[in-house]
Amino acid sequence: MATETFSPSRSAEAPTDFLPLQGTDYVEFYVGNAKQAAHYYKTAFGFQSLAYAGPETGVKDRASYVVRQNKLTFVLTTPIKNNNEIADHIARHGDGVKVLALKVEDATSAWEETTKRSGKSYLEPATLKDDDGEVVMSGIHTYGDTVHLFIERKNYSGPFMPGYRKWESVYNPTGTGLLYVDHCVGNVGWNQMNPWVKFYEEVMGFKNILSFDDKDISTEYSALMSKVMSNGNGYVKFPINEPAEGKKKSQVEEYLEFYNGEGVQHVALATHNIIETVTELRNRGVEFVKIPESYYATVLDRVGHIDEDLKPLSELGILIDRDEEGYLLQIFSKPVEDRPTLFFEIIQRKGAKSFGKGNFKALFEAIEREQAERGNL
Ligand code: FE2
């Protein structure tokens, strides 16, 4: 697939991108029960059945269900035997994101370019073939037990990849308007943000496009710091959070404790109509962090005119922020497992390319109220 590269900062003399990315290919979750997790993402989030791999397709140690909505592809994988790395991952972390897979033109070159820059190999380039063609994949480790896979699928026409068969289901709930991955946020340990920023710069050629220090992101009680890393064309954005000192425990610390280490904190999913999407998600049982009424009393003084009525935004708890280029609407789900670990953000961008800095205080105070309810503040 040809890709237009969009980069206002890139001049004609800029070096060529050694790791050209065409976007997120899929997000793979290691979960305790993939059959039920797939049902949850279909029912609650509006994904459709796409593909399946497991004992029936010749895979002996796992079962994987692939669901899709527009350009969003989730893979839900569970171990069917005890002594394998998937079972170990779940024992250590609970359900969580294992793979942030990135679509590339050349997976062999992606692996060579990143590993020669000291990226640690997870998977050497491998070619998978079936009657629908071939997929080349390779991968490197990132923070915690999380990995990036590079997926080259230009010579493949099957439903997902070799080893999977099409998953036909009689249960096909309607979509909720979720379109693609806007960004994926990693939580890393104390003083580990800058080393991981360096990793994305040096190993993957990303740039730090925004930074937030503990003055931007602190409440009375707790704090965190964050830097946003972006690839050259801006299709892939990975903010990296680390905890900062506060009077009480940072939400990042709570995550690190319950995830048993570093990992993906949230995946932000884009929509063109956040009011419709969030109304639908709520009706299907997705729970969101509650924002106090008082937020809406003054928000328009801060962000100015917006096209939407404030009433549905306040009823749903959708947050608003503005930067020089426009505004954005966003909302955060509660964690989607019993551990206070992974959650989702729903985001609608109306020009803004930032991440909602103006909302951090109101949002984090709301998150802390829930952290306090769990006895972890
Ligand atoms: Fe986010």
Q: The domain that contains 346 carries what CATH number?
A: 3.10.180.10
Question: Within a domain: residue 2?
Answer: no
Ligand 1 centroid – CA 171 distance (Å): 31
- Same-domain status, 107 and 249: no
**Which pLDDT value is given to residue 6?**
46
Of 166, 201, 236, the last residue of a domain is: 166
Protein residues near ligand 1, an ion, with CB under 5 A: 268, 345
- Same-domain status, 131 and 200: no
Ligand 1 centroid – CA 350 distance (Å): 15
Ligand 1 centroid – CA 266 distance (Å): 7
**Which pLDDT value is given to residue 217?**
65
Question: Within a domain: residue 7?
Answer: no
Question: Cα-atom radius of gyration of the chain, to the nearest Å?
Answer: 20
- Same-domain status, 144 and 186: no
Ligand 1 centroid – CA 42 distance (Å): 22
Total count of domains within the chain = 2
Question: Within a domain: residue 3?
Answer: no
15: which DSSP letter?
P
Question: Within a domain: residue 14?
Answer: no
Of 139, 166, 193, the last residue of a domain is: 166
221: which DSSP letter?
S
Ligand 1 centroid – CA 345 distance (Å): 6
- Same-domain status, 218 and 93: no
Question: Within a domain: residue 351?
Answer: yes
Ligand 1 centroid – CA 227 distance (Å): 11
Ligand 1 centroid – CA 247 distance (Å): 24
pLDDT band at 36 (very low <50, low <70, confident <90, very high): very high
Ligand 1 centroid – CA 235 distance (Å): 15
Q: How far apart are CA 309 and CA 329, in angstroms?
A: 12
- Same-domain status, 30 and 97: yes
Question: Within a domain: residue 356?
Answer: yes
Question: Within a domain: residue 238?
Answer: yes
pLDDT band at 345 (very low <50, low <70, confident <90, very high): very high
Convert the pLDDT of each residue in 228-283 to its tens digit: 999 999 999 999 999 988 777 888 999 999 999 999 999 999 999 999 999 999 99
The average confidence (pLDDT) of the chain is 92
Domain that holds residue 239: 178-374
pLDDT band at 373 (very low <50, low <70, confident <90, very high): confident
Of 142, 166, 190, the last residue of a domain is: 166
- Same-domain status, 237 and 271: yes
- Same-domain status, 200 and 152: no
- Same-domain status, 204 and 246: yes
Ligand 1 centroid – CA 194 distance (Å): 19
Ligand 1 centroid – CA 241 distance (Å): 11
- The answer to whether 345 and 268 are in contact (CB under 8 A) is yes
- Same-domain status, 71 and 108: yes
- Same-domain status, 116 and 79: yes
Convert the pLDDT of each residue in 123-153 to its tens digit: 999 999 999 999 999 999 999 999 999 999 9
pTM: 0.93
pLDDT band at 294 (very low <50, low <70, confident <90, very high): confident
**Which pLDDT value is given to residue 2?**
39
Ligand 1 centroid – CA 355 distance (Å): 6
CB burial class (10 A; 0-12, 13-18, 19+) of residue 282? middle
| Residue spans of beta strands (DSSP E) within the chain | 21-30, 48-53, 62-69, 72-79, 96-104, 121-130, 133-141, 147-152, 165-166, 178-187, 207-212, 223-230, 237-244, 263-271, 319-323, 326-332, 343-350
Ligand 1 centroid – CA 183 distance (Å): 7
Question: Within a domain: residue 1?
Answer: no
- The answer to whether 353 and 325 are in contact (CB under 8 A) is yes
- The answer to whether 140 and 148 are in contact (CB under 8 A) is yes
- Same-domain status, 138 and 286: no
- The answer to whether 113 and 87 are in contact (CB under 8 A) is no
- Same-domain status, 338 and 200: yes
